[in-house]
Amino acid sequence: MERGLGRLIDANANRASEGLRVLEDLARFELNDQDLAAELKAIRHDLAEGVRSVLPDRVQRLALRDTPGDVGTALSTPGEKARENLASIASAGGGRACEALRVLEEVSKMVASKMAPPGPFEALRYRVYEASRRVEVALSGRRARQWRLCVLISRSLCKHPAWQEVARGAIEGGAECLQLREKNLESRDLLEAARELVEIARPAGVAVIINDRADVALACGADGVHLGQTDLSVRDVRAIGGASLLVGVSCSTLAHAQQAARDGADYLGLGPMFPSATKPKDTLTGPSLVRDVLADPLTADSPHLAISGIDAGNVGELARLGCRGVAVSSAVCASKDPAGACREILDSLGL
């Protein structure tokens, strides 16, 4: 084989393999995603087989390698010397692998007419596109801090102080997140309430989450949106708002939580924990879901909020299972002393 062509195949095979190893190790050690790590390992294996189809003699490949004489080893850009976070590392690794596979794809077309059928590099490149996307999106999630207490604000539940005063009281009592949950408001009224809630919470550094409506969350400048299992997917919200919104997902099973983690959700809403008059459910998942989520490698490190029927009297049961955060509604909204109700829940949670 021509020396320059052999060096080109060798360099891009190494470049693709290196990029894939970065992605595989991120999936394995950071995301704890066994299926994704296995897919990336399989791609690396298929890459090796493909390289053998265009340059079958490994000894010849090694003999053609000339690292000291490679004029490209000294070339670099400032962007190559810095990585902002793990997602940027995944992006670089995926880009590196895909670019190298494209070169191998083109070379295999030329070599095919002389010695072998075209290699599998085009198909491999498409597999890497998807696997790389999954790794980067998952790493781009989990940006939410682990809130200890989130208060769900619904105007109909605020019997004593107005909902604005409930929000201010919750902040005073230690809530780190406020979620606006208004199922029956028209879009303009919902947006007006959302903007008002952001104005109340933002000076205190408290996060604001909008239930269901990514469009409203973006329009009012909220921190994020919370999705149910029948709402938009995490991927849909990322397509609309990119990384500008935190995304939480309601999970009533471990399978739901695992999928949300794979999709790159920033936090998991776990429940229903206990019977609730606010949002009755025919079936209760119960506190065991917290235990299962914390025991699973894929979901254990994801920020979470247990939800449904939680108050100062039963939150200790969740705390004993290792629960790190809860979301409450009527226990605070229906209280004459929202700040005091929040303090009692946090004291009982013990964090």
* 3-state per-residue secondary structure call for 268-281: EEECCCCCCCCCCC
53 residue type, one letter: S
Residues 234 and 297 in one domain: yes
Mean pLDDT, range 233-247, rounded to an integer = 93
pTM, 2 dp = 0.84
Residues 217 and 281 in one domain: yes
Q: Can 330 be counted among the known catalytic residues?
A: no
Active-site residue identified among 91, 132, 250, 302: 250
Answer whether 172's CB lies under 8 Å from 145's CB: no
Distance of alpha carbon 51 from alpha carbon 233, whole angstroms = 38
Residues 162 and 297 in one domain: yes
Read off the pLDDT of residues 137-171 as tens digits, 9 standing for 90 and up. Answer: 888 877 889 999 999 999 999 988 899 999 999 99
- Per-residue tokens: 45: 């294996």
Mean pLDDT, range 129-134, rounded to an integer = 95
Residues 52 and 173 in one domain: no
Active-site residue identified among 44, 127, 181, 262: 181
Q: Is the pLDDT of residue 113 over 60?
A: no
Q: Which one, of 169, 173, 219, lies nearest residue 193 by Cα?
A: 219
Residues 72 and 185 in one domain: no
Residue 301 DSSP symbol: T
Distance of alpha carbon 4 from alpha carbon 100, whole angstroms = 16
> Which burial class, exposed, middle or buried, applies to 5 when counting CB atoms under 10 A from its CB (0-12, 13-18, 19+)?
middle
The per-residue pLDDT for 160 is: 83
Residues 111 and 170 in one domain: no
Q: Can 279 be counted among the known catalytic residues?
A: yes
Q: Can 114 be counted among the known catalytic residues?
A: no
Number of alpha carbons in the 13 Å side-chain half-sphere of residue 345? 33
Domain boundary among 105, 140, 175: 140
Distance of alpha carbon 351 from alpha carbon 347, whole angstroms = 8
Residues 199 and 97 in one domain: no
| Domain tally, the chain | 2
The per-residue pLDDT for 1 is: 61
What range defines the domain where residue 238 resides?
149-349
Going by pLDDT thresholds of 50, 70 and 90, the confidence category of residue 118 is: low
Active-site residue identified among 133, 195, 279, 281: 279
Residues 207 and 282 in one domain: yes
Residues 50 and 172 in one domain: no
Residues 311 and 250 in one domain: yes
Residues 133 and 278 in one domain: no
The per-residue pLDDT for 222 is: 97
Domain boundary among 95, 115, 140: 140
Domain boundary among 140, 161, 182: 140
Read off the pLDDT of residues 85-109 as tens digits, 9 standing for 90 and up. Answer: 999 999 999 999 999 999 999 988 8
Residues 13 and 102 in one domain: yes
Q: Is the pLDDT of residue 282 over 80?
A: no
Q: Is the pLDDT of residue 269 over 60?
A: yes
Q: What is the CATH number of the domain that holds 224?
A: 3.20.20.70
**Beta strand spans in the chain (E):** 149-153, 177-180, 207-211, 224-227, 246-251, 267-270, 304-307, 326-328
